[in-house]
Amino acid sequence: MKELVCIVCPRGCRLTVDEEQGYKVTGNSCPRGAEYGRTELQNPTRTLTTTVCVAGGLHRRLPVRTNRAIPKALLPAAMAEAARVRLQAPVAAGQIIIPNLLGTGADLIASRAMPAAGA
Amino acid sequence: MAETYQLIVIGGGPAGLAAACKAWEQGLRRVLVLERDCELGGILNQCIHNGFGLHRFGEELTGPEYAGRYIAMLAETGVEVRLDTMVLQLVPGRDGHPHEVHAVNGKQGYQVLQAQAVVLAMGCRERTRGAISIPGERPSGIFTAGAAQRFLNIEGYMVGRRVVILGSGDIGLIMARRMTLEGAKVLACVELMPYSGGLTRNIVQCLQDYNIPLYLSHTVTDIRGHDRVEQVVVSRVGPDRQPIPGTEMVFDCDTLLLSVGLIPENELSRGAGVEIDPRTRGPVVAENRETSIPGIFACGNVLHVHDLVDFVSAESERAGAAAAQYVQAQDAAPGAPAPAAAIPVQAGEGVSYTVPQHLHPAALAAGAELFFRVRRVTKTANILVEDANGARVAKFARTHLAPGEMENITLPAALLARATPPLTVRIEEVQA
Ligand SMILES: Cc1cc2nc3c(=O)[nH]c(=O)nc-3n(C[C@H](O)[C@H](O)[C@H](O)COP(=O)(O)OP(=O)(O)OC[C@H]3O[C@@H](n4cnc5c(N)ncnc54)[C@H](O)[C@@H]3O)c2cc1C
Ligand code: SF4
DSSP SS3 for A100: coil
Q: Looking at beta carbons, which residues of chain A come within 8 Å of B205?
A: 7, 46
Check whether residue B16 and residue B109 sit in a common domain: yes
pLDDT band at B129 (very low <50, low <70, confident <90, very high): low
Tell me which residues of chain A, numbers 54 to 113, contact chain B at a CB-CB cutoff of 8 Å: 58-61, 63, 65, 72, 75-76, 79, 93, 111-113
pLDDT band at A8 (very low <50, low <70, confident <90, very high): confident
CATH of the domain at B400: 2.60.40.10
Check whether residue B121 and residue B267 sit in a common domain: yes
- Which among B239, B260, B281 is the end of a domain? B260
CB atoms within 10 A of CB B267: 12
Instruction: Quote the ligand 2 centre to B70 CA distance (angstroms).
Output: 24
Check whether residue B191 and residue B88 sit in a common domain: no
Q: What ligand 1 atom has the least distance to the C-alpha of B17?
A: 25
- Which among B206, B240, B260 is the end of a domain? B260
Check whether residue B313 and residue B357 sit in a common domain: no
Of A5-9, A100-104, B321-325, which gets the smallest average pLDDT? Answer: A5-9
Which mutation among A36, A39, A47 tests ligand 2's pocket best, with the greatest number of atoms within 8 A of CB?
A36
Quote the number of domains for chain B. Answer: 3
- What pLDDT score was predicted for residue B432? 64
- What pLDDT score was predicted for residue B56? 87
Check whether residue B353 and residue B402 sit in a common domain: yes
Cα gap B99→B242, rounded to integer Å:
47
Contact B199 A12 (CB under 8 A): yes
Residue A53 distance to chain B (closest CA, Å): 8
pLDDT band at B296 (very low <50, low <70, confident <90, very high): very high
pLDDT band at A49 (very low <50, low <70, confident <90, very high): very high
The domain in which residue B206 lies consists of: 128-260
pLDDT band at B405 (very low <50, low <70, confident <90, very high): confident
In this predicted structure, the answer to whether residue B412 has a pLDDT above a threshold of 60 is: yes
Residue-wise over A91-112: b if at least 16 C-beta within 10 A, else e? beeebebbeebbebebbbbbbb
Give the pLDDT confidence of A55-72 residue by residue, as tens digits: 999 999 999 999 999 999
DSSP SS3 for A43: coil
Check whether residue B310 and residue B361 sit in a common domain: no
Query: Does ligand 2 come within 6 angstroms of the Cβ of A5?
Result: no
Torsion angle of the four alpha carbons B36, B37, B40, B44, in this order, in degrees rounded to the nearest 10: -120
Cα gap B74→B69, rounded to integer Å:
9
Give the pLDDT confidence of B145-156 residue by residue, as tens digits: 999 999 999 999
Contact B60 A9 (CB under 8 A): yes
Average pLDDT, chain B: 93
Closest Cβ–Cβ partner in B65, B204, B209 for A112: B65
Cα gap B8→B35, rounded to integer Å:
11
The one-letter amino acid at B68: G
On whether any CB of chain B is under 8 Å from the CB of A49, the answer is yes
In this predicted structure, the answer to whether residue B1 has a pLDDT above a threshold of 70 is: no
Task: Give the mean model confidence (pLDDT) for residues B73-84.
Answer: 97
Residue B186 distance to chain A (closest CA, Å): 15
Check whether residue B254 and residue B137 sit in a common domain: yes
Check whether residue B278 and residue B240 sit in a common domain: no
Check whether residue B218 and residue B300 sit in a common domain: no
Cα gap A15→B63, rounded to integer Å:
26
Contact B154 A59 (CB under 8 A): yes
Instruction: Quote the ligand 2 centre to B411 CA distance (angstroms).
Output: 24
Give the pLDDT confidence of A75-97 residue by residue, as tens digits: 999 999 999 999 999 999 999 99
- Domains of chain A, each with CATH number or no CATH: 2-42 (no CATH), 49-110 (3.10.530.10)
Measured from the alpha carbon of residue B19, the closest ligand is 1
Query: Does ligand 1 come within 6 angstroms of the Cβ of B52?
Result: yes
Contact A5 B307 (CB under 8 A): no
Residue-wise over B67-104: b if at least 16 C-beta within 10 A, else e? bbbbbebbeeeebebbeebebeebebbeeeebbbbebe
In this predicted structure, the answer to whether residue A27 has a pLDDT above a threshold of 60 is: yes
Check whether residue B402 and residue B379 sit in a common domain: yes
**Is-above-0.80 flag for pTM?**
yes
Check whether residue B164 and residue B218 sit in a common domain: yes
Instruction: Quote the ligand 2 centre to A12 CA distance (angstroms).
Output: 6
| C-alpha distance across the termini of chain A, in Å | 56
- What pLDDT score was predicted for residue B134? 78
Q: Over chain B, what HEC string results?
A: CCEEEEEEEECCCHHHHHHHHHHHHCCCCCEEEECCCCCCCHHHHHCCCEEECCCCCCCCEEHHHHHHHHHHHHHCCCCEEECCCEEEEEECCCCCCCEEEEEEECCCEEEEEEEEEEEECCCEEECCHHHHCCCCCCCECEEEHHHHHHHHHHHCCCCCCEEEEECCCHHHHHHHHHHHHCCCEEEEEECCCCCCCCCHHHHHHHHHHHCCCEECCEEEEEEECCCECCEEEEEEECCCCCECCCCCEEEECCEEEECCCEEECCHHHHHHCCCEECCCCEECCCCCCECCCCCEEECHHHCCCCCCHHHHHHHHHHHHHHHHHHHHHHHHCCCCCCCCCCEEEEECCCEEEEECCEECHHHHHHCEEEEEEECCCECCEEEEEECCCCCEEEEEEECCECCCCCEEEEECHHHHHCCCCCEEEEEEECCC
The one-letter amino acid at B123: G
A45 alpha carbon, distance to own chain's centre: 8
CATH of the domain at B159: 3.50.50.60
Better-scored residue on pLDDT, A5 or B11: B11
pLDDT band at A13 (very low <50, low <70, confident <90, very high): confident
Contact B204 A7 (CB under 8 A): yes
The interface pTM score, or ipTM, of the predicted complex is 0.90
Q: Looking at beta carbons, which residues of chain B come within 8 Å of A6?
A: 201
Cα gap B217→B238, rounded to integer Å:
7
Query: Does ligand 2 come within 6 angstroms of the Cβ of A8?
Result: yes
Q: What ligand 1 atom has the least distance to the C-alpha of B310?
A: 11
Closest Cβ–Cβ partner in A4, A53, A61 for B154: A61
Of B10-14, B31-35, B373-377, which gets the smallest average pLDDT? Answer: B373-377
Cα gap A35→A24, rounded to integer Å:
10
- What pLDDT score was predicted for residue A76? 95
- Which among B305, B338, B371 is the end of a domain? B338
Residue B202 distance to chain A (closest CA, Å): 8
Check whether residue B82 and residue B162 sit in a common domain: no
